[in-house]
Structure 1
Amino acid sequence: MIKVSVLYPKTADSTFDIAYYRETHMALVREKLGDACKGTAIESGLAGGAPGEPPVYIAMGHLFFDSVSDFETAFGPHANEILGDIPNFTNVQPAVQISEIIQ
């Protein structure tokens, strides 16, 4: 199993509409990726590691797939639509990491 993490960095002027992300964007992602996407998770950053420190990421979205090729096959045809929705909920450019889940 792999996890695709979309990480939205927290900056001094970053904005993020978590309600839109949860209710609209992730619903769009799940619809477009279909059964290839085995699950999703959303995190909203609260704080950094030290007291009073801001979070490194304002939000994170995670998508789970059986393999990288399953992700690529599902995402590719819908990439423009999914990525085109980003300005509707944030003004930051996300970073993406694909990781293998090891248990």
Structure 2
Amino acid sequence: MIKVSVLYPSKPGSRFDVDYYLTVHMPMATRLLGAAVKDTSIEIGIGGGAPNEPAPYAAIVGFTCDSVDAFMAAFTPVVGQLQGDFPNYTDIQPVIQISEIRRIS
């Protein structure tokens, strides 16, 4: 299993519309990516590691998939639609990381 994480770094003066992201963009993303995505998690930043410290990320989304190939097969045909929606909710350039999921016992 792999996880594709999309991280939106918080920057002074940046814009991130949480309501739009949760009610429009993410439902669209999960619909477009379809069965390739086994699970989706959404984190909205509320604070940093120290008291009263701002969150380093406005949001982090994780898409769990069977493989990189499975994700790319679903993502490649719809990348234009997903990226084209960015201006509707943010001016932050996201950072993407693909990770192998490891479990500890």
Please tell me the TM-score bracket, short chain as reference.
over 0.9
Q: Which runs of 4+ in 1 moved over 6 A?
A: none
What letter corresponds to residue 102 of structure 1 in structure 2?
R
**SS where residue 28 of structure 2 aligns?**
helix
Structure 1 residue 64: Cα displacement: 1.0
Structure 1 equivalent of residue 64 of structure 2: 64
Greater CA drift, 64-73 or 13-22: 13-22
Q: Percent identity?
A: 50
Q: State TM-score, norm by structure 1.
A: 0.96
Question: Partners in 1 of 2:60 and 2:48 — Cα distance?
Answer: 14
Structure 1 residue 14: Cα displacement: 1.2
Instruction: Give CA deviations for 1:22-51 in whole Å, capped at 9, x if unaligned.
Output: 111111111111111111111010111111
The answer to whether 1:19 aligns with 2:19 is yes
Question: Partners in 1 of 2:14 and 2:62 — Cα distance?
Answer: 20
Q: What is the alpha-carbon root mean square deviation over aligned residues?
A: 0.8
Structure 2 equivalent of residue 38 of structure 1: 38
Structure 2 equivalent of residue 87 of structure 1: 87
